[in-house]
């Protein structure tokens, strides 16, 4: 039984932005259904006791929670490294100073592009880019570690060189270049988001060149798009192996999209301890390890590297969470990916479908 090393604490699904590639589930938790401060405090201590080293405070937008500093402080007291994943909308000087005082270690700010009007249009939030720039300045000024997260897709992929420059200019120590993964709401906008293979390959070269040129100054992580890979990623490091996700309503999930799997029932931290869920819960055990695997995963030399890929993607695309991720070219269902690429990379960009909750 491995110990989890990370906790993804989805504090809320509320968010002022409306990004068309949002990977949150289609059915969002309302404010009234969110865990309270006391429960988060207990869960964070249970996570530390279980061996978790770092907590990612995410959403939605965690800053909409007025008790965020209390939650950060609970994580800090439990000995966890704290990372705030934010759009930066609402990260005022006062708020940041309060969070730093509570023990915040690291801030990750997402950007949608470089040119403000275009970036704001993608985020569906006017003035957002200006707020992000100012928030990044404050984070660096406060001496906190800063990561910039740039989600790449058809509309901004050609701006990648400028995005890398911007991360440097803003003083980030790390840049995450993350191509859209088509989960949740992103799947509904796939035809407008998918870049061509040529554009993706050009972006990969830009990242490779920048990694060498900026070595020692800026760490660049490149999350490549599943659809253009030959083999899938180990989603969340493998089901039930490294990470626990807590949804805003307290459901403990092996990955952030697991709630989309219709036949699974997930335990809730309101009524069970995290340790009990991690060790005993059927949902965590279901796709842990290699026993559950069908062919061609069973016996494959990558079975303990990618753990069969993503269960949620297998369900979303072929209706079977226990199948090999169709992204893998060895999957008998891989044709569905080739067909989607052929159809969507050439599709004209339709207006995005936006969504919003509580913002
Ligand atoms: Fe990974 Fe399964 Fe493909 Fe092997 S067959 S590379 S284990 S997804
Ligand atoms: Fe659920 Fe990949 S998102 S296993």
Q: Quote the pTM value.
A: 0.93
Cβ 19 under 6 angstroms from ligand 2 = no
- Ligand showing the shortest atom-to-Cα distance for residue 187: 2
Q: How far apart are CA 61 and CA 175, in angstroms?
A: 20
pLDDT digits (tens, 9 = 90+) for 263-288: 899 999 999 999 999 999 999 999 99
Sign of the torsion formed by the C-alpha atoms of 277, 283, 287 and 291 = positive
Q: What b/e sequence results for 223-235 when a residue is b if at least 16 CB atoms lie within 10 Å of its CB, and e otherwise?
A: ebbbbbbebbbbb
- Which atom, in ligand 1's list, is nearest to the CA of 309? 8
- Ligand showing the shortest atom-to-Cα distance for residue 332: 1
Terminal Cα-to-Cα distance of the chain (whole angstroms): 41
Q: What φ, ψ does residue 147 adopt, rounded to 5°?
A: -115, 140
108, 98 contact by CB (below 8 A): no
Q: How far apart are CA 105 and CA 82, in angstroms?
A: 5
Closest CA to ligand 2's atom 1: 312
Cβ 310 under 6 angstroms from ligand 2 = yes
Whether the predicted pLDDT of 359 surpasses 50: no
- Among 25, 242, 312, name the best residue to mutate to test ligand 2's pocket (greatest count of ligand atoms within 8 A of Cβ): 312
pLDDT digits (tens, 9 = 90+) for 79-135: 999 999 999 999 999 999 999 999 999 999 999 999 999 999 888 889 999 999 999
The rounded Å distance from CA 242 to ligand 2 centre is: 13
pLDDT digits (tens, 9 = 90+) for 196-239: 999 999 999 999 999 999 999 999 999 988 889 999 999 999 99
- Mean residue pLDDT across the chain: 94
- Ligand showing the shortest atom-to-Cα distance for residue 309: 1
Cβ 312 under 6 angstroms from ligand 2 = yes
Q: How far apart are CA 106 and CA 56, in angstroms?
A: 9
Whether the predicted pLDDT of 358 surpasses 60: no
The rounded Å distance from CA 225 to ligand 2 centre is: 14
Instruction: Give residue 263's Cα distance to chain centre.
Output: 23
92, 45 contact by CB (below 8 A): no
- Ligand showing the shortest atom-to-Cα distance for residue 231: 1
Cβ 245 under 6 angstroms from ligand 2 = no
pLDDT digits (tens, 9 = 90+) for 142-188: 999 999 999 999 999 999 999 999 999 999 999 999 999 888 788 88
Q: How far apart are CA 354 and CA 16, in angstroms?
A: 12
- Among 330, 332, 334, name the best residue to mutate to test ligand 1's pocket (greatest count of ligand atoms within 8 A of Cβ): 330
- Among 237, 239, 306, name the best residue to mutate to test ligand 1's pocket (greatest count of ligand atoms within 8 A of Cβ): 306
Number of helices followed by number of strands (H, E) in the chain: 14, 9
Cβ 187 under 6 angstroms from ligand 2 = no
Q: Which residues line ligand 1 (CB under 6 A)?
A: 231-232, 296-297, 300, 302-303, 306, 308-309, 324-325, 328, 330
Position 357 confidence tier, pLDDT thresholds 50, 70, 90: low
pLDDT digits (tens, 9 = 90+) for 19-70: 888 878 778 888 999 999 999 999 999 999 999 999 999 988 999 999 999 9
């Amino acid at each position: 039984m491995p110990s989890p090393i990370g906790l993804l604490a989805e504090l809320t699904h509320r968010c002022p932005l409306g990004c068309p590639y949002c990977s949150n589930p289609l059915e969002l938790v309302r404010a009234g259904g969110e865990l309270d401060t006391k429960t988060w405090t207990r869960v964070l201590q249970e996570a530390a006791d279980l061996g978790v080293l770092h907590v990612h405070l995410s959403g939605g937008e965690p800053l909409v929670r007025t008790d965020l500093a209390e939650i950060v402080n609970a994580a800090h007291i439990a000995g966890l490294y704290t990372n705030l994943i934010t759009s930066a909308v609402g990260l005022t000087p006062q708020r940041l100073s309060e969070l730093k005082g509570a023990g915040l270690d690291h801030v990750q700010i997402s950007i949608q592009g470089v040119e403000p009007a275009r970036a704001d249009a993608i985020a569906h939030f006017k003035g957002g880019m200006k707020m992000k720039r100012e928030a990044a300045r404050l984070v660096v000024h406060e001496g906190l570690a800063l990561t910039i997260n740039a989600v790449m897709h058809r509309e901004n992929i050609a701006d990648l060189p400028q995005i890398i420059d911007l991360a440097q200019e803003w003083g980030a120590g790390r840049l995450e270049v993350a191509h859209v993964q088509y989960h949740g709401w992103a799947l509904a906008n796939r035809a407008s988001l998918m870049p061509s293979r040529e554009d993706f390959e050009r972006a990969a070269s830009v990242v490779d060149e920048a990694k060498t040129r900026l070595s020692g100054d800026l760490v660049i992580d490149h999350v490549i798009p599943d659809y253009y890979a030959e083999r899938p990623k180990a989603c969340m490091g493998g089901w039930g192996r490294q990470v626990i996700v807590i949804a805003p309503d307290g459901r403990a999930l092996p990955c952030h999209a697991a709630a989309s799997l219709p036949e699974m029932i997930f335990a809730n931290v309101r009524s069970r301890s995290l340790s009990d869920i991690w060790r005993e819960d059927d949902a965590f055990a279901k796709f842990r390890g290699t026993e559950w695997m069908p062919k061609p995963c069973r016996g494959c030399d990558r079975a303990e590297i990618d753990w069969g890929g993503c269960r949620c993607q297998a369900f979303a695309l072929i209706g079977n969470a226990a199948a090999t991720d169709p992204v893998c070219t060895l999957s008998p269902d891989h044709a569905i990916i080739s067909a989607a690429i052929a159809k969507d990379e050439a599709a004209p960009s339709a207006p995005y479908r936006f969504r919003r909750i509580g913002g």
